[in-house]
Chains A and B, each alone.
Chain A
Amino acid sequence: MSGATTAAYLARRAAQKERVRILYRRALKDTLNWAVHRHLFYQDASDLREKFEANRHVEDLDTIDKLVAAGEATYDKWRHPDPYIVPWAPGGSKFTRNPVPPSGIEIVYDYGRENND
């Protein structure tokens, strides 16, 4: 039924591929959060890549959907409670630390001249 390369099939495959890429990206960042030391990170990253490569040649759309959903569930389970976020990004430590002051506000420099009109 879904063997022909119709537009709907291709659209669904493309959406699935995007989900897989985003899942891989988040899982890799999470791996970096857990395994801070670089040699441990490289080992864990290769293991993650092996898991993704094992399911590379699956063709059936429903199986792919189930695998991606299972992968996302595993990712949710393993998420780090205190991830490293770049300081200026939302969630980081410098986010909105120095917001731009609203326009129209000025500082009036009149030191020493306050009561001498």
Chain B
Amino acid sequence: MALRSAVLRYIRVPVQTLTATESKPQPQWSLRASLRLFSSHDVHLTKEEVIDRVLDVVKSFPKVDPSQVTPNVHFQKDLGLDSLDNVEIVMALEEEFKLEIPDKEADKIDACNLAIEYIYNHPMAG
């Protein structure tokens, strides 16, 4: 399980400077590197990545105030958008994650948390 999670994340080795008085610090291995995986679909998105990208898309929408966007915000009630704006945001999310959402499902995506849940649980979210 630990190996699997290590394989699924990336490795980044930070540069550390050692002062004369300090003992050797523990290297902080936040694993983020380019790991060549030979199967086409082992790399699923992490939830933080999904949340970050969804919030970026919503914040860059011209009719939205970026300071009000949180992961739980409702598009029509909290951000004061229109149902047609909702459609536009869902289309922008489809373009961002290279998804194809069926019309009936797309109609139900009304809030940020619904969008994040749907995209995170979609097997083909890129």
- The number of residue pairs between A and B whose CB atoms lie closer than 8 Å in the complex comes to 34
With A24-B87, A25-B87, A49-B84 as contacts: A89 and B100 at CB distance below 8 Å: yes
A86: chain B residues within 8 A (beta carbon):
98-100, 124
| Interface membership of B107, Cβ < 8 A | yes
Given contacts A17-B83, A22-B103, A86-B99, 6 further A-B contacts (CB under 8 A): A21-B83, A21-B87, A22-B107, A25-B106, A52-B84, A86-B100
Which A residues lie within 8 Å of B91 (CB)? 25, 28-29
A25 with B90: CB separation less than 8 A: yes
Chain B interfacial residues counted at CB < 8 A: 14
Cβ of A12 within 8 Å of any chain B Cβ, yes or no, is no
Asked if residues B84 and A24 are in contact (CB atoms below 8 Å), the reply is yes
Q: Mask for B80-111, Cβ within 8 A of A = 1, else 0?
A: 00011011101100000011100100110000
Q: Which 5 A-B pairs have the closest CB atoms?
A: A89-B100, A86-B100, A25-B87, A22-B103, A24-B87
* Minimal beta-carbon separation of A41 from chain B (angstroms): 11
> Chain A 48-81, CB within 8 Å of chain B: the 1/0 string?
0100100000000000000000000000000000
Question: Which residues of A are found within 8 Å of B103, using beta-carbon distances?
Answer: 22, 25-26
Complex Cα gap A17–B84 (Å): 10
Task: Given A25-B106, A26-B103, answer yes or no on A88-B87 (Cβ-Cβ < 8 Å).
Answer: no
